[in-house]
Structure formats: C-alpha cells, structure tokens
Structure 1
Amino acid sequence: MTSSPPRGPSPLAPEIAARLKRSPDGLLPAIAQQYDTGEVLMLGWMDDEALHRTLTTGRCTYWSRSRGEYWVKGDTSGHVQQVKSVALDCDADTVLVKVDQTGAACHTGARTCFDADVLLGGGTGGDAPGADQ
C-alpha cells in the first residue's frame, strides 16, 4: 500500500514549486548520485516538503511510501547523504541529488541499489541491442 504525504501549502520558493511536475500523489522521483564518481546510488521519493528540507539542511530527506513518513537518509543507519547539488531534469518531473555518501546507500547494506540485478551488460555503452547501428 502506498501512502501519500500530507498536502498543504508548498514550503518551496514559488518559482521552484510552480515548475515541478508531480505524480498524482504529489511525489517526484529523486535519484541520488555520488557527486565525484557519478555512481548512481538509489532512487527515493520527494514531495515539496522533502525537497525543501533537502535544499535547506544539506541532508537528503525522502518520503517513505511504505512507512508513510519523512526520513532523513542516515539518521538511523549512519549512512548519511551529504548534499552537494540538486537539479531538476528537463521536464521538471525528476530530481537529481548529487551527494557524498557515507556507507551503504541501499537498505540491503549494499553500496548502491543498482548492482545486484544487472539485466543487460554491465559495461559502459555499446551493450544494448542495436547500439552499433
């Protein structure tokens, strides 16, 4: 079951809030990437409040759809994400947060959520079918 965050006035600057294209439940996917290596660490969800907290505290805050609450990455695990930069994609429907990750990013204890189940390739470029056409 997916829990939606509470709704209310956006705490974000109006010029940022007006640009965001949120899902019907008010969320944006937020990709966490290691700032110096480009390693993709995880995907979480943010609403306006979580994005505001991330921008103002320098720590990644997400909305947990399963727990129905905000969580700051590392508060219980010690695996902190220190924010280096935050950007919107070209459609303003996804957030990219470049972080300095301490410890594991994945809840399984792995460094990244994307290294255990590679569906194709694993190298860089050229591994996709038809890539050299």
Structure 2
Amino acid sequence: MEIRYLRLIKVIVKEGSITRAIDKLHLSQSALSYQLKEAKVQLGTPIFYRHNKKLILTPIGKKLYKAANNVLKEIDSTEPEIKKLISGETGMIQISTECNTSYHWLPPVLNKFKNEFPNVGCKLYLRLLTAL
C-alpha cells in the first residue's frame, strides 16, 4: 500500500466528505476517485461503502485507517529528523587515529567543531602504539 493511499484514507475520514478531502489534498474530484479506485484494486477489496453521499469505512478500511494514523504519524515525525541529518544540523562523526602525544591541535579542533555544530556528536577512537 502506497503512503499516498494511506493519506487519502485518513483525510477522507477526518474531513467526513470527499468534497472537503479534495480541498485538503489539493486534488480534483477525478484524481481522488482514481486514487481511491487504485487503492481498492491494489487491495482487492473496497475500503469504503457508499451510503447516500457519505463514505463509510469497511472493516478492512477501519484496519487501514488505524494503520494510516500510526504510519503517517511516524513518517511525519521522521521527516524533520532526516532533513536535519542531510543538512548536517545533527548526526555523528567518527574519528579514528593512532594515539600520539603530539596531537596538541586535536582538542581545539574538536572544540571548534562542537561550537559550530552543537547537534552533531563526535566519537574519537584512539589506537595505542605498542613497541615490538
């Protein structure tokens, strides 16, 4: 099931009518009807019953509506996090180096990095040199 179908189901139920759902989804009547038909074909069963001009969820539609609420909530909360990762606002960098007592420059560099990117974590892996 495509995410757009889940959004479609959720908005139709929330708005209570196709007319209001069309406005919310910025779709034409024919586009909404087509997507609803495609969702029905993909599932192999109706999602809504038509009663007069109202759409009423079938038992399968109720199950999908519940799933849509959960899935869309998760997607909506994840999108901003992904955008922050992509833009470099948040994340984690990992630095691996051999331990050397002449690394006096490293702490100031890490401090500057932390000041410029406060939401990006840093893991430092040091490998100790051993004498043979």
The TM-score range, normalised by the shorter chain, is under 0.3
TM normalised by structure 2 equals: 0.25
Larger radius of gyration: 2
Higher normalized strand content (fraction of residues):
1
Answer 1 or 2: which has greater helix percent.
2
